[in-house]
């Protein structure tokens, strides 16, 4: 065991952390619902990649709450919060997943707070701000939506699968993604695009989508919480090569019955 490692946590060990993350996510959801439209919108990696003062304000609130309660934990946030810890726990924070949706007032943005222990995601909370839906999960404890258990669909026929996806902020990457989509769309029931990876993963987890794929995702904060919810709901999430999901590599998420045929379709689509 390395100096910074800890034993694999049990659901009982993780329950207080899950409650903390849930409380913070709900606080941030209320903050966004009462803050009004964002007053300052800036560009990040491209003209279509946006950040607002509220992204930063929410991240500060999350960090302050976590540090006050768990000062020895590490942190990784989309808007720059980075801290090495000594406890073996690191929090993965996306203060507003779906910022473009938020800026436009378009439904589909969430607070995403995940935690990993020695690099393994073990806990996730994703709070859909406008729908007031809270997805949560801890390793070994199952997944819930507003405290009710959820499971992935059992669908095995790819041709009837409703599939979610997302697109890069980079124009050249988008062009390649559009070419791949030409192969995927005729092979499935239909395609949906929400604009928030954390919610896409949770919607696969609760059966609103049968599968999801996306490449060029920004970082671990985008999928840290949603991946735990999906796995605890009986789903699978990997990179296209079958290994662990590692943004920005293309990832896919679905139920076990669809996984192999869906991955084969994506391999053909991205070989074009």
Domains located in the chain, CATH noted? 11-149 (3.30.540.10), 158-270 (3.40.190.80)
Residue segments in the chain with a per-residue pLDDT below the cut of 50: 1-6
- Please give the pLDDT value at position 2: 42
Q: What is the Cα–Cα distance from 129 to 113, expressed in whole angstroms?
A: 13
Phi, psi at residue 150, to the nearest 5°?
-130, 155
- Please give the pLDDT value at position 1: 37
Q: What is the Cα–Cα distance from 133 to 260, expressed in whole angstroms?
A: 30
Check: CB of residue 181 under 8 Å from CB of residue 266: no
Q: Give the angle subtended at the CA of 268 by the CAs of 238 and 181, to the nearest 5°.
A: 85
Phi, psi at residue 264, to the nearest 5°?
-65, -40
Check: CB of residue 252 under 8 Å from CB of residue 212: yes
Check: CB of residue 187 under 8 Å from CB of residue 132: no
Question: For 45, left (φ over 0), alpha (ψ -120 to 50), or beta?
Answer: alpha
Q: Give the angle subtended at the CA of 235 by the CAs of 229 and 236, to the nearest 5°.
A: 105
The pairing of strands 89-97 and 110-117 is antiparallel
pTM: 0.93
- Please give the pLDDT value at position 38: 72
Q: Give the angle subtended at the CA of 42 by the CAs of 181 and 195, to the nearest 5°.
A: 25
3-state SS, residue 75: strand
Check: CB of residue 125 under 8 Å from CB of residue 75: no
- Please give the pLDDT value at position 252: 97
Q: What is the Cα–Cα distance from 129 to 228, expressed in whole angstroms?
A: 19
């Amino acid at each position: 065991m390395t100096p910074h490692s800890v034993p694999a946590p049990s659901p009982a060990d993780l329950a207080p952390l899950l409650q903390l993350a849930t409380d913070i996510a709900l606080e941030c959801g209320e903050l966004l619902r009462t803050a009004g439209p964002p007053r300052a919108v800036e560009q990040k990696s491209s003209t279509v990649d946006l950040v607002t003062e509220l992204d930063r304000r929410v991240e500060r609130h999350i960090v302050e709450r976590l540090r006050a309660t768990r000062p020895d934990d590490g942190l990784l946030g989309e808007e720059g919060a980075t801290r090495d810890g000594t406890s073996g726990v690191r929090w993965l924070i996306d203060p507003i997943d779906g910022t473009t949706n938020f800026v436009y007032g378009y439904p589909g943005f969430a607070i995403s707070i995940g935690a990993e222990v020695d690099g393994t995601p073990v806990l996730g909370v994703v709070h859909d701000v406008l729908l007031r839906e809270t997805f949560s999960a801890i390793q070994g404890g199952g997944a819930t939506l507003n405290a009710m258990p959820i499971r992935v669909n059992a669908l095995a026929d790819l041709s009837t699968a409703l599939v979610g996806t997302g697109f890069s902020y980079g124009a050249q990457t988008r062009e390649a993604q559009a070419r791949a989509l030409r192969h995927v769309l005729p092979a499935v029931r239909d395609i949906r695009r929400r604009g928030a990876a954390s919610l896409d993963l949770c919607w696969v987890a609760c059966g609103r989508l049968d599968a999801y794929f996306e490449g060029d995702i920004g970082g671990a904060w985008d999928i840290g919480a949603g991946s735990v919810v999906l796995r605890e709901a009986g789903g699978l999430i990997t990179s296209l090569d079958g290994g662990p999901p590692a943004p920005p590599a293309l990832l896919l998420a679905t139920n076990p019955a669809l996984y192999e045929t869906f991955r084969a379709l994506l391999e053909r689509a991205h070989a074009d």
